[in-house]
Amino acid sequence: ASFLLLCFRSPLVTPLIFGLLLQPPLTQLSMITQPNIVLLMADDLGIGDVGCYGNDTIRTPNIDRLAKEGVKLTQHIAAAPLCTPSRAAFLTGRYPLRSGMDAVNNYRVIFWNAGSGGLPPNETTFAKILQQQGYSTGLIGKWHQGVNCEARNDHCHHPLNHGFDYFYGMPFTLISDCQPTETPEMDRAFRRKLWLSTQMIGLIALTAALGRLTGLIPVRWKTLTCLAGFSLLFFVSWFSSYGFVRYWNCIMMRNHEVTEQPMVTDRTTSLILRESISFIERNKHKPFLLFLSFLHSHTPLLTTEKFLQRSRHGLYGDNVEEMDWMVGQVVDAIDKEGLKDTTLVYFASDHGGWLERQEDKRQLGGWNGIYKGGKAMGGWEGGIRVPGIFRWPGVLPAGTVIDEPTSLMDIYPTVVHLAGGAVPQDRIIDGRDLMPLLRGTVAHSEHEFLFHYCGIHLHAVRWHQKDSGAIWKAHYVTPIFSPPGAGACYDRGFCPCFGEGVTHHDPPLLFDLSRDPSEAKPLSADTEPLFDTVIRKIGRAVEEHRRTLTPVPEQLSVYNVVWKPWLQPCCGTFPFCWCDKEGDS
């Protein structure tokens, strides 16, 4: 006892005790204790649709609260302007053409659950690394990265083969075909051509038959039989897929099991929210990764009755406000379980809003604020600049706004390092760890150049000149808006990446986004003294970047994209695929 008393009286011990008392709280140390990670991704949400990014008519109080309690990124960039390639880049931390997930043709996303293309099994997602680090990993909602490769149940592209322990949601994406009351959306123009071709072939066969019966056309019955058979075969060949889009694509799965075929859209929102909160509650005693991939705000804008006719922006605004409510419910569940200080929450959209998506006079797509362009446009800011918000109380400074260039690909190394893992060394990772920037320990993003692709075609390049603060952006290719001056490709429905619908620029169009974020006034050698220097610098960066690219199998080739009946997920005996296991339970 006297020895202990002597120790506490020692002049060396007193400062030590005060030092221990002054240690930062546990949340500051949670950087090295595997925080929970909740990733919230909206679908087709424009940066201008969110209150904290300038919208004062659509109410998003829960998303705004995340920004108030955390860090808001104002130059957060998607690696592609469409769902499939953007999400592939998000999951792998790599430009999508490195994994073959960007298009060489006009089929720029996965079109069928029964296609053979998808995120290759040899790609390592952040979920796979976190799974190896002991995390419980779950994906709730949209996948859109493929299902099978060679057989109906090989599940080579499935979430469970890419590091997720649990999956509930759509293996495909929400489309208007999923809602029987809506006008079909999928491949609409191509379907019209198929119908027209079928009618023409049928008319030729009918005319020949009438001519044979009346004696006006000397044609043999054998020829007529072959013509009729060809007409029937042509019709069946395309109608067997396009005639049943709702059954083939609009399905819900739990892990490998199909639970709804077709999905019952009236309850989809409540089921996704229930599954998300249940996952948090089941895994609250160990580190977990939850990727909640919303079906909002993609058409047909599934919105429950509680939120209909509440916003000032019609059905689209109603849908965004419902998604914001869902964000609030998930964040409240985290806080209720006492996980607030040990959970990193991230909110983003996969790309910009869809300007051309309209029915009659209804605008069904999003708004991209002051930024030119939208969904499907690989170069213009409106297609790739998205909301990006992080909340982690006690670790990230609240109310912070960061204007540095960042990418959705940065989530990969960020969460991998937080989990105590290491990024793969056998491949190029294009993302950068954001924690130093988010915590304020560095002033600038690690990205010097970002490359903006439309399919496999390089449309633009961004150069962050850190010493001057300039953000130079050179456009090599831009889409031709239709009608002229409209700001989007309304006559087409989507802006193309190549062909007659684009303009090639030599020299490139050059903008300084730090002075002209709307890309309204292109610079020239006459108006910008550094024009030639900047163009040469970006050109050298493009050459260096292209040397890092290696050929890989094209996951979105025509063969991989087309519907293959032997790959169709089915909850019965194909082709009799229908079930409602959620309703049964």
Identity at 216, one-letter amino acid code? L
Query: Using CA atoms, how far apart are residues 27 and 36, in angstroms rounded to an integer?
Result: 12
Which pLDDT belongs to residue 585?
59
Q: For the segment 34-91, what is each residue's pLDDT rounded down to a tens digit? A: 999 999 999 999 999 999 999 999 999 999 999 999 999 999 999 999 999 999 999 9
Q: Angle between the 314-336 and 268-282 helix axes, to the nearest 10 degrees?
A: 20
Angle at which helix 411-418 crosses helix 83-92, to 10 degrees, equals: 30
For the whole model, what pTM was predicted?
Answer: 0.92
In this prediction, residue 347 carries a pLDDT of 98
d(CA 551, CA 553): 7
CA angle 337-342-347, nearest 5°? 90
Average pLDDT, the chain: 93
- Per the structure block, which two tokens stand in for 346? 């991230």
Catalytic residue, candidates 7, 52, 83, 457? 83
Alpha carbon 469 to chain centroid distance?
A: 29
Those residues of the chain that have pLDDT short of 50 are 1-30, 32
Sign of CA dihedral 402, 406, 408, 413: negative
Q: Is 296 exposed, middle or buried (0-12, 13-18, 19+ CB in 10 A)?
A: buried
Which of these is catalytic: 76, 144, 162, 457?
144
- Is residue 536 packed enough to be buried (19+ CB in 10 Å), middle (13-18) or exposed (0-12)? exposed
- Is 464 noted as a catalytic residue in this protein? no
Of 126, 460, 182, the C-alpha closest to 298 is 182
pLDDT for position 216: 83
User: Would residue 144 show up in a list of annotated catalytic residues for this protein?
Assistant: yes
288-293 vs 362-363, strand pairing mode: unpaired
Task: Count other Cβ atoms within 10 Å, centred on residue 182.
Answer: 16
Residues 343, 38 contacting (CB under 8 angstroms): yes
